[in-house]
């Protein structure tokens, strides 16, 4: 099965983390919105997640995750601790709809991510080929200043 990433769009970073899980290209998570939550859980502000929101969409990158890499990714994303949960979603691609799983935060929406975290996300989205307006929206989102 595929894994969809909206917060980590950088195929190079994913290759380092999951060398047996090739990138299969971009897609859109229709009816969902990128947001942040769990400010009290993060070490640098709120953490990225998605919530259902009709009319919204999130740019994602799809990876064909091997079972070996899936367990590694579960640990990296703290799914083994319950911080994030895996759910199955439909992702719209140029070839049609693909079933995929992704991680969603098990916490309340709210709070601000750090400027560094948001910058890393925007840079990765740009490298992944996200539309310019999508990247621009990431770059102007409210965030915590360094050291806040």
Whole-angstrom distance, CA of residue 145 vs CA of residue 76: 25
Q: pLDDT (tens digit, 9 = 90+) per residue, 64-122?
A: 989 889 888 888 777 778 788 889 999 999 999 999 998 898 888 888 999 998 998 99
What per-residue confidence (pLDDT) applies to 142? Answer: 94
What per-residue confidence (pLDDT) applies to 82? Answer: 76
Indicate the pTM of the whole model: 0.88
17 within 8 A of 61, measured Cβ to Cβ? no
Which of 46-50, 75-79, 129-133 has the least mean pLDDT?
75-79
Model confidence at 28: pLDDT above 90? yes
What per-residue confidence (pLDDT) applies to 74? Answer: 85
- What lies within 8 Å, CB to CB, of 98 at 6+ separation is 2, 27, 62, 90, 91
What per-residue confidence (pLDDT) applies to 10? Answer: 79
Model confidence at 48: pLDDT above 70? yes
Q: Mean pLDDT across the chain, nearest whole number? A: 88
Whole-angstrom distance, CA of residue 63 vs CA of residue 65: 6
The domain segmentation of the chain, as residue ranges, is 2-139
As to burial, measured by CB atoms within 10 angstroms (0-12 exposed, 13-18 middle, 19+ buried), residue 147 is exposed
What per-residue confidence (pLDDT) applies to 68? Answer: 87
Q: Which fold has domain 2-139?
A: Hypothetical upf0131 protein ytfp (3.10.490)
Model confidence at 1: pLDDT above 70? no
What per-residue confidence (pLDDT) applies to 13? Answer: 83
């Amino acid at each position: 099965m595929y894994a969809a990433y909206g917060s980590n769009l950088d195929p190079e970073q994913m290759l380092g983390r999951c060398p047996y899980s090739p990138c299969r290209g971009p897609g859109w998570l229709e009816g969902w919105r990128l947001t942040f939550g769990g400010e009290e859980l993060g070490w640098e502000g709120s953490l990225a997640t998605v919530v259902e929101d009709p009319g919204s969409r999130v740019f994602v990158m799809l990876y064909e995750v091997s079972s070996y890499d899936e367990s590694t990714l579960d640990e990296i994303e703290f799914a083994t601790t319950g911080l994030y949960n895996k759910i199955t979603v439909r992702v719209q691609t140029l070839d049609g709809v693909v079933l995929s799983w992704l991680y969603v935060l098990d916490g309340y929406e709210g709070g601000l991510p750090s400027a560094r975290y948001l910058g890393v996300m925007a840079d990765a989205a740009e490298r992944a080929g996200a539309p310019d307006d999508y990247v621009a929206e990431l770059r102007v989102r409210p965030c915590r200043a360094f050291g806040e």
